[in-house]
A and B are shown apart, each in its own frame.
Chain A
Amino acid sequence: MTKLLEWVFGVSVIGAAWALVTFDLLNLRLPEAYKEVAWPMPVYLLVVFGCYSLATVGYRVATFNDCEEASKELQDQIKEAKEDLRRKGLKM
């Protein structure tokens, strides 16, 4: 089974379970509170995923280390390239 089929299958199972609870398709007569929790679930999961992405990005940007050596190496390479091009006649 391909990955796409696996995902489609999983999503449709979860979607069926959600529809069953939200629209009361089997006439299970669940307590009203459960229906109230279930119907915003797709939007809720999207919002939670968005929050998690934001938090991950924010955290990794905040804890990104300065790379001293790489910076110095880059500056040297820039100087070298400029020298080389100047020698070959490119006006800077």
Chain B
Amino acid sequence: MGLVGFSLLLFTYYTIWVIILPFVDSDHVVHQYFLPREYSVILPGIAALILLLCVGTFIGVVTRKNRKPKVD
């Protein structure tokens, strides 16, 4: 259930950041809780790269561990 709550939180924050903020006046106080818009693309990009890195590392480790000596 924590996973559901976390993903709901993430969805709400990201939706407000991407879709709602451009329509809010730039001197409204809510803007101070959000990073500049460029980060709304950069941060998911970095997260995707880290995910790919973790998956690749995991596959590499498991492959190396299960390598049998050459069978002929």
Contacts and interface: CB of A to CB of B under 8 A. Distances in A.
Interface of A: 32-34, 36-37, 39-40, 43-44, 46-48, 51-52, 54-55, 57-59, 61-62
Given A36-B37, A55-B4, A62-B4, A47 B19 contact: no
Chain A's interface: helix, strand, loop or mixed, by majority?
helix
Nearest to B40: A40
Interface of B: 1-4, 6-8, 10-11, 14-15, 18-19, 22-23, 37, 40-41, 44-45, 48
Given A33-B23, A62-B3, 12 more contacts: A40-B18, A44-B15, A44-B19, A48-B11, A48-B14, A51-B8, A54-B4, A54-B7, A55-B3, A55-B11, A57-B3, A61-B3
Nearest to B38: A40
24 contacts: A33-B22, A33-B23, A34-B22, A37-B19, A37-B23, A40-B41, A44-B14, A44-B19, A46-B48, A47-B10, A47-B14, A48-B11, A48-B15, A51-B7, A51-B10, A51-B11, A51-B14, A52-B7, A52-B11, A54-B3, A55-B8, A55-B11, A57-B3, A62-B3
Contacts, number: 63
Chain B's interface: helix, strand, loop or mixed, by majority?
helix
Contacts of B2: 58
A58 B18 contact: no
B34 to A, nearest CB: 13
A37 B3 CA distance: 27
